[in-house]
């Protein structure tokens, strides 16, 4: 899972929760409506959840508060430590792993979720991950991902130009470095792995995709 990005999260673990509150001007628009995104993911989820890239545990906590069983997976030791401390009053263990290599849940899951994670995988990795998830989920099971994605290359280019004009060099570097998908390309990958999808735009960057396994 794009483990080349791991050093970023080692440094980001302590400040991540400040970032999602919009305290970093460069990423304020990316995190606009952050809590609405994780609330919607929670509302659309089933009862037994495999969560990838659980980070500091914000989505995990929402899912647990809703009475769901959660198996959170996170590759960053620093992020896991923050999350485990934050959710120490819950009976949950944050497990080491990523979107491609992870411990299998002890019980069947009906939903796989993540927020702001899937873009760490390149196109081939996205495809292989979805093929694996198809084998885990029952018929009718769902994948629910919140992530930065774009309707077209022109839309992505326009965002990069806009943020460059604002002097947001870190964000521009991020947009050029990681594997933010075009929705048309993402749709093809989901369809190839027997999922039907719906998309909902949450801000200028983030969409939620709900993909249901059809067989």
Residues 6+ apart with CB under 8 A from 124: none
| Cα(86)–Cα(161) distance, integer angstroms | 38
CA distance to 33, 40, 116, 126, 163, per residue, from 204 (Å): 10, 17, 14, 22, 12
Is 22 annotated to bind a ligand? Reply is no
If we measure between CA atoms, which residue out of 47, 93, 43 comes closest to residue 73? 93
3-state secondary structure 163-178: HHHCCCHHHHHHHHHC
Q: Is 29 annotated as a binding residue?
A: no
**Chain-centroid distance, C-alpha 146:** 5
- CA gap 108, 97 in Å, rounded: 18
Beta-bridge partners for 144 = 113, 210
Is 167 labelled a binding residue?
A: no
Binding residues for S-adenosyl-L-methionine: 53, 74, 98
Binding residues: 53, 74, 98
């Amino acid at each position: 899972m794009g483990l080349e990005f791991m050093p970023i999260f080692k440094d980001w673990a302590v400040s991540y929760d400040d970032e999602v509150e919009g305290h970093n001007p460069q990423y304020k628009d990316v995190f606009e409506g952050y809590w609405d995104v994780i609330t919607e993911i929670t509302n659309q989820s089933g009862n037994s959840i495999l969560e990838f890239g659980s980070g500091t545990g914000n989505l995990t906590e929402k899912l647990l508060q809703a009475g769901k069983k959660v198996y959170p997976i996170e590759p960053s030791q620093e992020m896991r430590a923050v999350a485990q401390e934050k959710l120490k009053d819950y009976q949950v263990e944050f497990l080491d792993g990523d979107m491609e290599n992870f411990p299998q849940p002890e019980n069947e899951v009906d939903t796989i979720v993540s927020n702001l994670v899937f873009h760490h995988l390149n196109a081939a990795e996205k495809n292989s991950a979805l093929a694996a998830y198809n084998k885990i989920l029952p018929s009718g099971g769902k994948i629910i991902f919140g992530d930065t994605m774009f309707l077209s290359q022109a839309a992505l280019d326009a965002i990069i130009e806009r943020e460059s004009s604002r002097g947001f060099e870190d964000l521009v570097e991020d947009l050029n470095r990681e594997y933010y998908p075009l929705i048309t390309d993402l749709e093809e990958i989901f369809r190839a792995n027997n999922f039907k999808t719906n998309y909902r735009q949450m801000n200028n960057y983030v969409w939620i995709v709900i993909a249901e396994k059809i067989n």
